[in-house]
Chains A and B, each alone.
Chain A
Amino acid sequence: MPDDSITYILLNSCIINNFVLSAFLGICPFLGVSGRFETASRMGLAVTFVMIVSSLCAYALNLVLVSMEMEFLRLICYIAVIASSVQLVEMVLKRYSPALFRALGIFLPLITTNCAILGLVLFQTFKGYNLVQCLAYAIGAGAGFTLALAIMSGLREQLALHDVPSMARGAGLTLMVAGILSLAFMGFAGLGN
């Protein structure tokens, strides 16, 4: 499969180079919101949504910046785009789907400081993807993030029922589990070649 085909980009960003488990992006929500499956899957959904919107906006913005030769403003513009697309998603959800808006609650505004989103728009710029490739990359990354969060929350729900030594309760054990999960995802390396 060629490196820039849509299928490969989807597969790559979702499984082979999973954003959370092998690129270390979005670790904060991964550790913070993965306690329960309900919230974890909703968080994944919201992040995917913001990823798609900000990926497309950033693509358009980058064309403008390059044509005006102002690449040094890229970072500031991207972060502004992400913050405003989070705001946009918030407004749209509030208007058309108040139930989902209430369910996401505080997680929605916090997505602005999720490094998976800034990472996504930076990587798509470095890789020089076109519009369709950007869309595939954003969907794949969002799906991968949701997948990692869902698996982790399932594991932690099980873990909560077991007798763990008191010193290992909390972040230490969660990181160990994440390490094993990341080890498992390394098995996907070379997929699609």
Chain B
Amino acid sequence: MTATGMSESIWPVYTRGLWRENPVFVMQLGMCPTLAVSNSVINSLSMGLATLAVLVASSALVSLMRNVIPKQVRIATYIVIIATFVTVVDYALQAISLDIHKALGAFIQLIVVNCIILGRAEAFASKNSVVRAITDAAGMGLGFTFALICLGAVRELLGNGSLLGFDVFGPQFEPWAIMILPPGGFFVLGAWLLVFAWFKERSARTAARKEPSHAG
């Protein structure tokens, strides 16, 4: 697989995580941080980027060490690798912006148990070359960030009347406070999943209508 890995096009590996196998909307992985920190765009963005950094770094290291790690202890090794990078990102974020670090709280450290990262390490990075592993991790990480921003934008807009901290609706707007509280997270993610399911169903219907031979 490694020999042919380089000659194959790397583009589908990258775009897969962004859309077709989006970790949040399609595979429904890493729901806890998705729901917990997406109450504003800036929180979503920083959480997404922190996860992206951990994902890329640990995928690269797992891929580099894939022939050294004994099969029996691989999961434990992956978790220790991930925990190391999470600690690095935790301290780095603390140095960059203390406010964001406080807003995200324990959820930065909880990146360790984000199933996306362990999932990519086990399913992809441990079987592929470093370049492909990094590409896959970047795609998945950006897809995760994209999903978080989708949620954060809706919740901040409805719950606070602002976007990225700028006022959108003016002073008359009565904030829909429930949207930035915990129930809002469930409602907005549920609504996004319904929209995606509706799109999928509609495109399946049009495809079936275009090719009636395949419909039955």
Give me the interface of A with B, judged by CB distance under 8 Å.
Answer: 21-28, 31, 72, 75-76, 79-80, 83, 112-115, 118-119, 122-123, 126, 166-168, 170-176, 178-180, 182-183, 186
With A72-B87, A167-B197 known to touch, is A79 a contact of B182 (CB < 8 Å)? Answer: no
Identify the closest chain A residue to B35 (Cβ). Answer: A24
B91 CB within 8 Å of chain A? yes
Contacts of A22 in B (CB 8 A): 182
- Across the interface, do A76 and B80 meet the contact criterion of CB distance under 8 Å? yes
- Across the interface, do B183 and A31 meet the contact criterion of CB distance under 8 Å? no
Q: Taking chain B's interface residues, is the majority helix, strand, or loop, or is none over half, making it mixed?
A: helix
Identify the closest chain B residue to A73 (Cβ). Answer: B87
Q: Taking chain A's interface residues, is the majority helix, strand, or loop, or is none over half, making it mixed?
A: helix
Q: How many interface residues does B have (CB within 8 Å)?
A: 41
- Across the interface, do B110 and A118 meet the contact criterion of CB distance under 8 Å? yes
- Across the interface, do B84 and A28 meet the contact criterion of CB distance under 8 Å? no
Give min CB distance, A10 to chain B, whole Å.
20
- Across the interface, do A28 and B183 meet the contact criterion of CB distance under 8 Å? no
Of the candidates A75, A113, A167, which one forms a contact with B198 in the assembled complex, judged by CB atoms under 8 Å apart? A167
With A115-B32, A168-B194 known to touch, is A122 a contact of B201 (CB < 8 Å)? Answer: no
CA distance A24 to B182 in the complex (A): 8
Contacts of B32 in A (CB 8 A): 24-28, 115
With A83-B76, A166-B201 known to touch, is A76 a contact of B83 (CB < 8 Å)? Answer: yes
- Across the interface, do A72 and B91 meet the contact criterion of CB distance under 8 Å? yes
Contacts of B110 in A (CB 8 A): 25, 115, 118-119, 122
Contacts of A178 in B (CB 8 A): 186, 190
CA distance A172 to B86 in the complex (A): 30
- Across the interface, do B79 and A172 meet the contact criterion of CB distance under 8 Å? no
A-contact 0/1 string along B5-44, CB 8 Å cutoff: 0000000000000000000000011011101100000000
Identify the closest chain B residue to A126 (Cβ). Answer: B106
In the complex, identify which listed stretch (B112-120, B126-134, B165-173) lies at the interface while the others stay far away: B112-120
Contacts of A171 in B (CB 8 A): 28, 190, 193
- Across the interface, do A179 and B87 meet the contact criterion of CB distance under 8 Å? no
With A31-B28, A75-B86 known to touch, is A176 a contact of B113 (CB < 8 Å)? Answer: no
- Across the interface, do A27 and B109 meet the contact criterion of CB distance under 8 Å? no
CA distance A190 to B80 in the complex (A): 40
- Across the interface, do A23 and B36 meet the contact criterion of CB distance under 8 Å? yes
A-contact 0/1 string along B176-216, CB 8 Å cutoff: 00100111111101110110011011000000000000000
Contacts of A173 in B (CB 8 A): 190, 194
Give min CB distance, B105 to chain A, whole Å.
8
Give min CB distance, A22 to chain B, whole Å.
5
Of the candidates B29, B118, B182, which one forms a contact with A186 in the assembled complex, judged by CB atoms under 8 Å apart? B182
5 A–B contacts from the bound complex (CB under 8 Å): A31-B31, A83-B76, A126-B106, A170-B197, A176-B186
CA distance A94 to B145 in the complex (A): 41
Contacts of B76 in A (CB 8 A): 80, 83
Of the candidates A80, A167, A180, which one forms a contact with B183 in the assembled complex, judged by CB atoms under 8 Å apart? A180
- Across the interface, do A118 and B183 meet the contact criterion of CB distance under 8 Å? no
Of the candidates B87, B184, B191, B197, which one forms a contact with A76 in the assembled complex, judged by CB atoms under 8 Å apart? B87
